[in-house]
Structure 1
Amino acid sequence: MFVKRRSMLNSSHSSHFTLGAYVDLGLLKWLYFLIVLSVYVLILLSNLLLIIVICLNRTLHEPMYIFLCSLFMNELFGSTALFPMLLFQITQDVHTITTYFCFVQIFLLHFYAVTEFVISAVLSYDRYLAICFPLQYSTRMKTNKLIFLVAFPWIYSFAMILVLVLLTSLLQLCEHSISKVYCNNYSVVKLSCSDTSINNIYGLFVTVLTVFVPLIFMVSTYICILRQCFRGSKQTRQKVLSTCGPHLASIINFSFGSLFEVLQSRFDLRNVHSVIQLVLSLYLLAVQPLFNPLIYGFKLTKVRKLSKSLLHSVVSH
């Protein structure tokens, strides 16, 4: 019993975690490195371009575009929390991460995911006001409310995830091998040999408040928008689809990514091929930061035209 207790104590104070989802790629790792690096650079350039376009053009200083700018900043934040460490790990033969950086990554990635959902809910509320109350939009979306709606997703997500990570950091861990290519909260909680009841209850609480509540809110706002849309003319419907289509596509894509993450975290997928597990692991964090700037950049005419104009002026100089 003494030996077992000593072993548990040593394990709980281990200075690193092993990321067990990496496979030995040999020389192919450099090909994967280039592919992942290319994706990361594309994410950085596309999101930065749209942030610059929105900031520099006064015609885009409207609530919807300000919320989109906040969304693109979150994509930059989330991808930077994942890709530099991912690129580093691809080149390593021993895939470990220090305990400190593991918890930092947990905080950053969960913070990104929660912020994404809440900003999406804010965008749906903005579209609801603009389409269902067009004549009252300016009075309903005053400067004070705009500032609150921009700041709220970041402050709310920070508070919720900070408590989540603090609770996890207090656990005694018996193992230090995570079957993913990055650290996430539930993977660390599963390694605990102490009581995780509080963690599970708070984790469920966070999931309900940060995923299900925003999703229910977004569904209800879009039901109202669709009702208003079908009452209007064909031109009105086309205008609604052009502005709401990218947002709906973004919500659906991120919801599917979240579903994949939940399935992989909560269920035993050892029978699933390692490559498929890797794709499921990265879908939520790699696809959305690339998907959003592309879908909004292509679909929103104003943004597309101004982006082309900015790129043309940069190239010509």
Structure 2
Amino acid sequence: MDAVFNGTFITLGGFVDMDKYRYIYFVILLTLYILILCTNCTIICLIWIHRNLHEPMYIFIAALSLNSLLFCTVIYPKLFIDVLSQKQTISHSACMFQYLLYCSSGVSDFLLLSAMSYDRYVSICKPLQYQTIMGKRTVIVLLTLAWFLPACEVLVATVISSQQKLCRFTTGGIVCNNTIFRLHCVKSEFLTVYGLFVIMNVVVVPVMFILFTYIKIFIITYHSCAKVRKKAAETCLPHLMVLFSFFCLVLFDVIIARLESDLPKIVRLIITLQIAVYSPLLNPIIYGVKMKEIWKHIKRLFCRPVNKRI
């Protein structure tokens, strides 16, 4: 009976002192999830409602917030169940499904940021051609590539990994991320090579493209007037801050996968929680505060004057 159970379910062994801190974990995670939902939904609704925000840059920001909602919904509901349960387990099929959504939604952020950097490049460096280049069709194509290209590439790794024989049934994490590959009896060379290909394709290349476009923008604006430099800083700085947070997310995930046996359990837990909190919560705050038009609508939403009766 145990063999059948172990062959069907995987134990998530990354939690620390569950019996002692069970309800503290639950309250903290629930609070974070509510904050993430509220902040990202606010950004999406503001961009959806106000017509002056129906521009490519703000559409990509809304897509990032939508992506954050998907990413967190993949993680948090299962965490709520785990912290309130005596055993933190997940079926193998559900684990692979979580891995698919976790990785595809995570890395698609890089492609969305690439689309945003291209939009800024065209807006600042080719302003007269902006309406022609960044039309509705271009935005749809960029959004489609950002969401479906990572999903298709991660799906291949997911299908191959699900067919591998398992010799271990306990992971050192709290979610099904890249640590699931350590459960395989035999390390697949194809998955290793293919994983590097995916990282190069949807992480390294987009990051290099983003850095290239922003370098070009800063070179051009350096020789322009102060007004142009200010506009470039207001729109590009938030994107670079978000890029840094996303890069840390992927870097932390790789660290967990490669150094799982060498890292203390509490360190692995903290790193994983940073992945689930850092970008989804800070991104809408960064865009809400740093993007002038969005911040203007946020102030109007929460700082409406009270009508006084005479």
TM bucket normalised to smaller = over 0.9
Query: Who is 1:218 aligned against?
Result: 210
Range that drifts further, 62-71 or 233-242: 233-242
Of residues 246, 250, 259 in structure 2, which corresponds to 1:267? 259
Q: Residues 255-280 of structure 1: CA distance to partner in whole angstroms, max 9, x if unpaired?
A: 1222122122112553x443222111
- Among 167, 186, 189, the alignment partner of 1:194 is 186
Match among 240, 243, 255 for residue 235 of structure 2:
243
Q: Match of 1:56?
A: 49
Question: Which stretch of the first structure deviates more once superposed, 73-82 or 193-202?
Answer: 193-202
Question: TM-score with structure 1 length normalisation?
Answer: 0.91
Q: Distance in 2 between matches of 1:193 and 1:273?
A: 23
Could you report, residue by residue, the CA deviation over 1:76-115 in whole angstroms, capped at 9, with x for unpaired residues?
0001111111121112221111112111110110011121
Whether 1:108 aligns to 2:128 is no
Distance 2:5 2:31 in 1: 38
**TM-score, scaled relative to structure 2:** 0.93
- 1:69 match: 62
Secondary structure of the structure 2 residue equivalent to 1:14: helix
Corresponding residue number in structure 1 for 2:14: 21
RMSD: 2.0
SS of residue matched to 1:121: helix
* Contact 1:171 1:189 (8 Å CA) reproduced: no
Residue identity matched to 1:282? L
Mapped partners of 1:13, 1:169: distance in 2: 15
Match of 2:18, SS state, is: coil
1:256 to 248, 254, 269: 248
| CA distance 1:176–1:269, shift in 2 (3 Å) | closer
> How much identity, in percent, do the aligned residues show?
33
Q: What SS does structure 2 have at the residue aligned with 1:97?
A: strand
* 1:297 matched to 2:283: no
1:120 to 113, 117, 120: 113
Structure 2 stretches lacking a partner, 5+ long:
none
**Residue 183, structure 1, aligned to residue 179, structure 2:** no
Distance 2:83 2:5 in 1: 27
Q: Which amino acid aligns with 1:253?
A: S
Distance apart, 1:196 and its partner CA: 0.7
What secondary structure is seen at the aligned counterpart in 1 of 2:10?
Answer: strand
Count of aligned pairs:
306
Asked if structure 2 preserves the Cα contact closer than 8 Å seen for 1:12 and 1:173, the reply is: no
Q: Structure 1: which 4+ aligned runs deviate by more than 6 Å?
A: none
**Cα distance in 1 for residues equivalent to 2:143 and 2:302:** 27
SS at match of 2:90: strand
Q: 1:218 to 1:200 in 2, by over 3 A?
A: same
Q: Secondary structure at the match of 1:108?
A: helix
Match of 1:3 in 2: none
- In 1, the alpha carbon distance for the partners of 2:100 and 2:260 equals 24
Contact 2:6–2:169 (Cα < 8 Å) also in 1: no
Structure 1 residue 310 displacement after superposition: 3.0
